[in-house]
Chain A
Amino acid sequence: MQLAHYLGLLHRAQVELGAAFREVGEAHADEADVLHLSRKLAAECDRHADQLQPFAERYGEDAPSEPERLHSELFKGTREGGLGLLRDLHDLYLMATECDVAWTLVGQAAQGARDTELLEVVQSCEGETATQLKWIRTRMKEAAPQALVVADRRQR
């Protein structure tokens, strides 16, 4: 069964998203809402990872090489300034999308494998990941006009 690969992928994606939320929040601490919500959402990601852990073990975690490559492509550390915030949130969005899709696929597999416990975990977590995506999009929309249209003196 290949489910182990996807559980491993999702578990790592959640751990990495949690770490990235924390990093981005601290890097943009002068945006107080970003700092507090990033911490809150990082804790949510950690909880998702914790809930997946026993299933990842049960199905024999045997992660493919994709997650490592994914991490290096999607998040290479934070940036500064208004445009930097936008790019960092954009990275978080892509990482959360990775989780969002993986939740759907793991959910499908859980139904196929008749694993009601795993399905319960998926159903309690996937909505939170979807809300994280909505928040990141909302916050990016808010930041975009200033970051993209108004010149940032510090970046000249």
Chain B
Amino acid sequence: MSGRRTRAAGAGRPASTSRYFLTETAQLANVVLPAATWGEKTGTFTNADRTVHLSEQAVDPPGEARSDLAIFLDYARRMDFRDRGGRPLIGWSDPEGAFEAWKRCSRGRPCDYSALTYDRLRESPVQWPCTEDAPDGTERLYAGGVFNTDPDYAETYGHDLKTGATLSEDEARAKQPAGRAYLQAADYEPGPEQPDDAHPLLLTTGRTVYHFHTRTKTGRAPELRAPARITGIREGVVFVPFHYGYWDHSGPHTRAANELTAIAWDPVSKQPLFKIAAVRVAKAG
């Protein structure tokens, strides 16, 4: 979790957090629970293309670290959460039990996992929806040209793209979508920071070749100290590779690219605007 989120959370300090190393968020918490990372716990994960994978535990977590699930289950047990019938609220005790409960939860919904099993996933990954009718999953969604826009099936009705305002069920019904897709247009909006006399260059951030995408622990500072290279970049633009945080470093925060960009995010997707800022470049003296 990034440093900027940490500051956003600062007003309502998190009571506890579970991490597999001491992040900037964890440093603000009252209670930190050491957690297992992948390879130290069993569970499924799902890619952006709906592919469900089973990731089995290969080694024990170090020290007192436990899986997130074990931490949550222990918490539920200690809080003595009960259902309406007076039985324990959580009826499962391991990852596969939790997966079975999720399957029941997802049945009949767009991300239907109901016919998936750990045994099936040991053969190969599967794309949801995976149902009795499609036991090997579904490669292509909306193949019949029918989308999940029917107000009787949808649970949310979309957003205004400029503000993120939620649209209402009545508005969705008025469009009579009947399974048709919507294409929403929005006018171009300039980013919150535009170059001016004081900050004449436009900064963008990104990944370089061979740039692994973890080590994302960043914060925010008004300036960044790094060697500058003059290359064939577009005029007026500065590029900084992102993801240089402080995992190995406790001094002043002067090197993470995301410290230079505005604290802002897209109102619908909540993607942070790490890609654009107005900057100036000066020789470090």
Q: Are the CB atoms of B163 and A131 closer together than 8 Å?
A: yes
Residues 17-55 of A, flagged 1 when their CB comes within 8 A of B and 0 if not, give: 000000000000011110011011100000000000000
Q: For residue A29, which residue of chain B has the nearest CB? A: B263
B11 near A37 (CB under 8 angstroms)? no
Q: Which residues of A contact B163 (CB under 8 A)?
A: 37, 41, 131-132, 134-135, 138
Q: A134 — which chain B residues lie within 8 A by C-beta? A: 160, 163, 165-167
In the complex the two chains form, is B12's CB within 8 Å of A138's CB? no
Chain A residue numbers with a CB within 8 Å of B7 are 30
Residues of B within 8 A of A141 (CB): 166
Number of B residues, CB within 8 Å of A: 19
- A146 beta carbon closer than 8 Å to chain B: yes
Contact B165 A33 (CB under 8 A): no
Interface residues of A in 138-155 (CB under 8 A from B): 138, 141, 146, 150
In the bound complex, residues from chain A placing their C-beta under 8 Å from that of B12 are: 82, 146, 150
* Given A134-B165, A134-B166, A36-B160 contact (CB < 8 Å): no
Contacts of A132 in B (CB 8 A): 163
Assess whether B8 is in contact with A138, with CB atoms less than 8 Å apart: no
> Does the CB pair A137–B11 fall under 8 Å?
no
CA distance A41 to B48 in the complex (A): 33
Query: Which of B160, B163, B166 has the most A CB atoms < 10 Å from its CB?
Result: B163
Bound complex: CA A60 to CA B171 (Å): 38
Collect the chain A residues with CB atoms within 8 Å of residue B181's CB: none
**B192 on the interface (CB 8 Å rule)?**
yes
Residues of A within 8 A of B10 (CB): 30
- Smallest Cβ distance from A24 to chain B, in angstroms? 15
Q: For A138, give its contact among B162, B165, B265 (CB under 8 Å).
A: B165
B162 touching A36, Cβ below 8 Å: no
Question: Given the complex, which residues of B lie within 8 Å of A31, measured CB to CB?
Answer: 8
Rounded to whole angstroms, the CA-CA distance of A131 and B189 in the bound complex is 16
B189 touches A40 (CB 8 A): yes
In the bound complex, residues from chain A placing their C-beta under 8 Å from that of B281 are: none
Query: With A and B bound together, what is the CA distance between A36 and B160 in angstroms?
Result: 16
Q: Is the CB of A30 within 8 A of B11?
A: yes
A39 CA to B162 CA, complexed, in Å = 13
Say yes or no for B267: interface residue by CB 8 A criterion: yes
Assess A33 versus B265: contact at CB under 8 Å? Given A40-B189, A131-B162, A135-B160: yes
The 15 listed contacts between A and B (C-beta, < 8 Å) are A30-B11, A32-B262, A32-B263, A36-B264, A37-B163, A37-B164, A37-B267, A39-B192, A82-B11, A131-B162, A134-B165, A134-B167, A135-B160, A135-B164, A150-B12
20 A-B pairs besides A36-B192, A131-B165, A150-B12 with CB distance below 8 A are: A32-B8, A32-B262, A32-B263, A32-B264, A32-B265, A33-B164, A33-B265, A36-B262, A82-B12, A131-B160, A131-B162, A132-B163, A134-B160, A134-B163, A134-B165, A134-B166, A134-B167, A135-B163, A135-B165, A141-B166
